[in-house]
Structure 1
Amino acid sequence: MLRSYLRLTLFAFGLLVGIQVPGFIEAYAQHVEARRLEAQQGLQGFQETAQRFFNGDIHALVQHYRDSDDPVFQSDAQSVEQLVRRAQMLEREWQAMQQPWYARAVHVLLGAERSLRQQVWNSYRYQVLLVPEAIAWGLSCALLLAWLVESLLVAASFPFRSRARRYKGYR
């Protein structure tokens, strides 16, 4: 009886963990989009200058700042270049979050920008979503976790069962 309750508890735990997956992926996608829009807004003035003087090539603007004799422009070149790199990284992350659900899940798990994922994790609030996607994730994780633990327990007890059966055969 206790073993059945432990199985149910394990299944419920897997279900609750699995239900969090789509919520976290959505939170990550929203975080990336907000940061991306913020980065685009921060670059807007530089983008307009690059459009006016360098045919829209922001990298040419940065190089122009670098090549300037003015130390203020040289310093700004580093700042603008950091803004450009951040905007490009956020654009890549945003593009990754436009993929199918399985590609988004793999990306958030394995390929996401660590600092962004950590920021989302720190601010994430656990929730129970009752949408088909969350239910499917929950049931899948619950079944997988229950199956893995049950398989490990059966595998761990296998050597002990075979010894007991061997001893019974000699009597």
Structure 2
Amino acid sequence: MFRGYLRLLVFAFGLLVGVQVPGFIDDYAKRVSAHLAESEQSLQGFRETAAKFFNGDLKALVAHYRASTDEVMRSDAESLNHLVSRSQLLEAEWLAMQGPWYAQVLHLSTNADPVLLQETLDAYSYQVLLAPQAIAWALGAGLMLAWLAELLALGIGWTFGVGRRHKPIAYEKRHWR
């Protein structure tokens, strides 16, 4: 009986962990989107200047600032280059978060921007979503965790001989005539 309750407890824990995955993915995507909007707002004036003088090429505007004899312009070139690089990074992150759920999970676990990921972790509050994908993640994680715990318990028990019944081997006396 205790083993059954323990299975239920492990399954419930897996449900609660699994239901967090879609919420975290959603929070990360919203954070990327907000940063991208802010980045675009910061670059708006520079985009207008680049459109007016350099056919919209921000890299050409940066090169022009770097080539200037004015030290202030050269200093601003580095600031502008940082803004352009940041915008490109955020655009790539936003595009990665527009794919299917499995691509988003893969991106978050392998290629996510570490700063944005840490910001999301720091600001994340646990939530229980009742969206279909959250329910699917919860059931999948619950079953997987319960299955792994059961396998681990059975493996440990088998290793140490818990629950095995040793039957004495009965030898028949045979006559060899």
Q: What TM-score range do you get, normalising by the shorter chain?
A: over 0.9
Q: Could you say which residue in structure 2 is the equivalent of 1:161?
A: 161
Between the two proteins, the alignment pairs up a number of residues equal to: 170
Asked if the contact 2:47–2:58 (Cα under 8 Å) also holds between the matched residues in 1, the reply is yes
Distance 1:163 1:152, change over 3 A: closer
Structure 2 SS opposite 1:169:
coil
Q: Could you say which residue in structure 2 is the equivalent of 1:15?
A: 15
- Cα displacement string for residues 65-119 of structure 1 (whole angstroms, at most 9, x for unaligned residues): 1111111011001100000011000000000011011111211222211110110
Structure 2 SS opposite 1:116:
helix
Aligned equivalents of 1:91, 1:16: Cα separation in 2: 32
Q: Could you say which residue in structure 2 is the equivalent of 1:95?
A: 95
- Which consecutive aligned stretches of 4+ in structure 1 deviate over 6 angstroms post-superposition? none
Q: Could you say which residue in structure 1 is the equivalent of 2:53?
A: 53
Q: Could you say which residue in structure 2 is the equivalent of 1:127?
A: 127
Structure 2 unaligned blocks of 5 or more: 171-177
Larger radius of gyration: 2
Deviation at 1:157, TM superposition (A): 2.1
- Cα displacement string for residues 32-68 of structure 1 (whole angstroms, at most 9, x for unaligned residues): 0010010001001111111111111100110111111
Aligned equivalents of 2:20, 2:159: Cα separation in 1: 37
Structure 2 SS opposite 1:48:
helix
AA aligned opposite 1:92: A
Q: Could you say which residue in structure 1 is the equivalent of 2:174?
A: none
Q: Could you say which residue in structure 1 is the equivalent of 2:26?
A: 26
Deviation at 1:134, TM superposition (A): 0.5
Over the residues paired in the alignment, what is the CA RMSD in angstroms? 1.7
Structure 1 unaligned blocks of 5 or more: none
Distance 1:135 1:115, change over 3 A: same
Deviation at 1:161, TM superposition (A): 2.4
Asked if the contact 2:157–2:163 (Cα under 8 Å) also holds between the matched residues in 1, the reply is no
Identity %: 54
Deviation at 1:156, TM superposition (A): 2.1
Could you tell me the TM-score, scaled by structure 1's length?
0.93
AA aligned opposite 2:68: S
**The structure with more helix, counted as a fraction of residues:** 1
Structure 2 SS opposite 1:63:
helix
